[in-house]
């Protein structure tokens, strides 16, 4: 019984920890286990998702390089950039967030990509979902991104 209670307390904290990465999931989001392409991924009941990926900084580039490369790739893939912001994590790492729109199955979707470069790693935070549901989650997603600890 003590183990069950401890497991529930840990799960209720909604904090994902992997070495060098800590994410506070927004309220109402559930972590998706065993993700192959993400170091962390969570979704809410309406299909709004938040995901974090870490990759080797190869070729060795800075924040301007990686945010520019991702932006060019997404624009070629049909995403329309609508705004960009400088962001900073809880542990002081500066990043670039670019917000996009794209039609998917006749419906407008929002997609944010936020890029951080930490020496030998590039960390991308992706958030997206149907416009009808994403707007209600924007502030919570922004808090989760600003609350990141990348170590």
State both tokens at 143. 């808090």
Q: pLDDT of 20-58, one tens digit each?
A: 577 888 899 999 988 889 999 999 999 999 999 999 999
pLDDT for residue 9 is more than 90: no
Q: Which residue has the higher pLDDT, 72 or 149?
A: 72
Q: Is the peptide bond before 59 cis (omega within 30 degrees of 0)?
A: yes
What predicted TM-score, i.e. pTM, was given to this entire model? 0.84
Q: pLDDT of 79-127, one tens digit each?
A: 999 999 999 999 999 999 999 999 989 999 999 999 999 989 999 999 9
Q: How far apart are CA 82 and CA 67, in angstroms?
A: 15
Domains and CATH numbers, the chain: 2-146 (3.40.1000.10)
Are the beta carbons of 21 and 31 closer than 8 angstroms?
no
């Amino acid at each position: 019984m003590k183990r069950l209670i401890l497991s529930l307390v840990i799960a209720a904290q909604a904090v994902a920890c992997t070495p060098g990465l800590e994410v506070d999931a927004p309220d109402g989001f559930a972590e998706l286990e065993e993700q192959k392409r993400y170091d962390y991924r969570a979704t809410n009941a309406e299909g709004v998702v938040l995901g974090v990926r870490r990759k080797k900084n190869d070729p060795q580039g800075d924040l301007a390089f990686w945010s520019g490369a991702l932006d060019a790739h997404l624009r070629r893939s049909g995403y329309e950039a609508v705004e960009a912001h400088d962001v900073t994590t809880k542990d002081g790492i500066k990043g670039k967030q670019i917000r996009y729109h794209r039609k998917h199955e006749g419906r407008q979707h929002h997609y944010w990509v936020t890029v951080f470069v930490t020496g030998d790693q590039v960390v991308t935070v992706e958030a997206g979902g149907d416009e009808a549901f994403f707007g209600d989650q924007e502030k919570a997603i922004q808090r989760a991104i600003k609350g990141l600890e990348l170590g």
